[in-house]
Amino acid sequence: MAPPRTYRCEAIILGYTPLGEADLLVTMYTRDQGKVRAVGKGARRSSSKLVGHLEPLTVVKMSLAHGRNMDVISQAEVTQSFAELKEDLTAITKGQYLAELVDGFGAEANPNPGLFQLMIDCLRVIEATKGRESESASDMPLRFFEFHLLQVSGLMPELYNCVECRQELEPDAHRFSPNVGGTLCLDCSPDDAHLRPLSLRALKVLRLLDRSGIVEACKLPVDAGLADELKSLLSNTVAYWLGKEIRSNSFLERLHKESQPEVYI
């Protein structure tokens, strides 16, 4: 029996590019199909029934048809628009950062419902807290996302035993290496390890991220120094596994710098 020509899915739009005179090539991440690229026929025309339904960072229920070379979007219904998030430049840039990571780590025809739900949960927290968090805590949803992205992708770093000698880690400062799989005690230095220091405070936060939900994790008070260490550790680990530069990260850093008050001497 031939597979059905049409199918339905729940998707979050990651991005799109113009195609031809009026079409869009849409990249989305779906709960049950993994990453999908499909064509929105005539979606750039103002009269199209798809107008407003294929914007990045929008959760949509869709009907699609299998095409010869590319699936085609036949219907779309927005279930969550994240409209308030999209009104804030910093918040929407954070959302684009998540989308870029999901696009990089998500695979076509390889569903990962945990990754799908992780992105939606993090977008909800970013939208709910935009403009109301302290500067040092403002990126905790991103750190939570990066940590659990590694987890649901099968790349969870070791936080409790030395990855080299397997001894349980004492409460102390240690070292961390993304390419050997996590934390190393002070006695172990594999030849190929990309080592970086890991403070006791940062190790405690990583372990908290491992056992906490996003709402609890994002209430954790962190000072600027700890926030910078967590960002460097997690974003660099994610970038290592992704194997390329994360474009939206550099723009987000620029926004943070521009938001800092000027210091007059």
pLDDT digit string (tens) for the chain, length 265 residues: 445 688 999 999 999 999 999 999 999 999 999 999 999 999 999 999 999 999 999 999 999 999 888 899 999 999 999 999 999 999 999 999 999 999 999 999 899 999 999 999 999 999 998 766 555 557 999 999 999 999 999 999 999 999 999 999 999 999 999 999 999 999 999 998 999 999 999 999 999 999 999 999 988 889 999 999 999 999 999 999 999 888 888 888 888 777 665 544 4
CA separation for the pair 29, 45 (Å, rounded):
24
Determine the pLDDT at residue 3: 55
Determine the pLDDT at residue 179: 92
Instruction: Determine how β-strand 34-40 pairs with β-strand 23-30.
Output: antiparallel
pTM value is 0.92
Count CB atoms within 10 A of the CB of residue 103.
Answer: 15
CA separation for the pair 209, 48 (Å, rounded):
43
Q: Do 108 and 37 form a contact (C-beta atoms < 8 A)?
A: yes
Nearest Cα to 202, choosing from 170, 228, 179, 238?
228
DSSP 244: S
Determine the pLDDT at residue 254: 83
DSSP 179: T
Determine the pLDDT at residue 39: 96
Determine the pLDDT at residue 251: 83
Q: In the chain, list all ranges with CATH 1.20.1440.120.
A: 85-259
Determine the pLDDT at residue 262: 53
CATH of 6-80, one of 3.20.20.70, 2.40.50.140, 1.25.10.10, 3.40.640.10: 2.40.50.140
Q: Do 203 and 159 form a contact (C-beta atoms < 8 A)?
A: yes
Nearest Cα to 3, choosing from 74, 76, 61, 65?
65
Q: In what order do the strands lie in the sheet with 174-177?
A: 182-184, 174-177, 196-198
- Bridge partners, 61 (sequence order): 10, 77
Q: Reply yes or no on domain 85-259 having CATH 1.10.150.120.
A: no
Q: In the chain, list all ranges with CATH 2.40.50.140.
A: 6-80
Distances (CA, A) of 212 to 52, 129, 144, 169, 217: 35, 18, 9, 20, 6
What is the enclosing helix (H) or strand (E) of 239?
helix 224-242
Determine the pLDDT at residue 1: 44
